[in-house]
Amino acid sequence: MERIGVRLKPFVLLLLFPLLLLGKEVKYEVFYGFFPAGEIKIVFEPQEVVVKGKSSGLLGLFYKYRLYMVYNLRDPQRSFMEERENGKERRYDYWKILRKKPWLPLVIKLLLTHRGFAPNHPIKVDGLEIIPKKVEGNDYTFEVKGSKRVKRIELYGWKEGEFPRRIVVEGSAGTLVLVRD
C-alpha cells in the first residue's frame, strides 16, 4: 500500500499545480522586438484568468492601446477580449481571439499546464497545437501549429510554483517579449 502512495504523490502534485497559480498575479514589461511597448498583468482567479495590458514608454506617446481579456477556465468559449486602439474600441469572442491574438490563450494554457510536457506530444487549444520541442533546465521551447500569427513560444526561467522570467512569442508580425518585473 505504501508503494502505491509513493507513485501517486507526483501525479497528485502534477494535478494540483494549476491550483498553485490561482489567486496569483504576474506583471510583465512588453517589448516589441527591442522597443519597450507597454505592460501586461495576468491575474489567475478560481474560475477565470484576467489579462490587462496597455501601451507605455516611447511607443505609448504615439500609439494608445489598452487590452482587457477574461479567459474562462471552465468554458473557454465564454472568454472575451476588449481592446481600445487609438480611440477605436473592439470586442472579440473566443474564436476571434484565437484568430487575432492567439498568443494570449496559448500562453495562458502553457502557464496552467506547466511541467508535464512530453517532447512532440501536443497540447491542444481548439484547433491549435502547442508542441514541446526543447527543454533545457527551466527553459522551454514550443512550436505552434495551426496559427498564421504565432510560430513559436519560448519560456525562460520557469521554476516550479513561479511564473516564467521571460516569455518570447515569435509570430508573423514580429517578436513579442514579455519580461517579468
What pLDDT, in 10s, does the model give residues 5-26? 444 343 433 343 444 445 589 9
Q: Decide if 123 contacts 111 (C-beta within 8 A).
A: no
Q: Classify domain 17-180 at the CATH topology level.
A: outer membrane lipoprotein receptor (LolB), chain A (2.50.20)
pLDDT at position 78 is 96
The pTM score is 0.83
pLDDT at position 4 is 45
pLDDT, averaged across the chain:
86
What pLDDT, in 10s, does the model give residues 31-75? 988 889 999 999 999 999 999 999 998 777 888 999 999 999 999
Q: Decide if 29 contacts 178 (C-beta within 8 A).
A: yes
What pLDDT, in 10s, does the model give residues 112-154? 886 667 776 888 899 899 999 988 999 999 999 999 999 999 9
Q: What is the DSSP string of 79-101?
A: -EEEEEETTEEEEEEHHHHHHH-
pLDDT at position 115 is 61
Q: List the domain boundaries for the chain.
A: 17-180
pLDDT at position 23 is 59
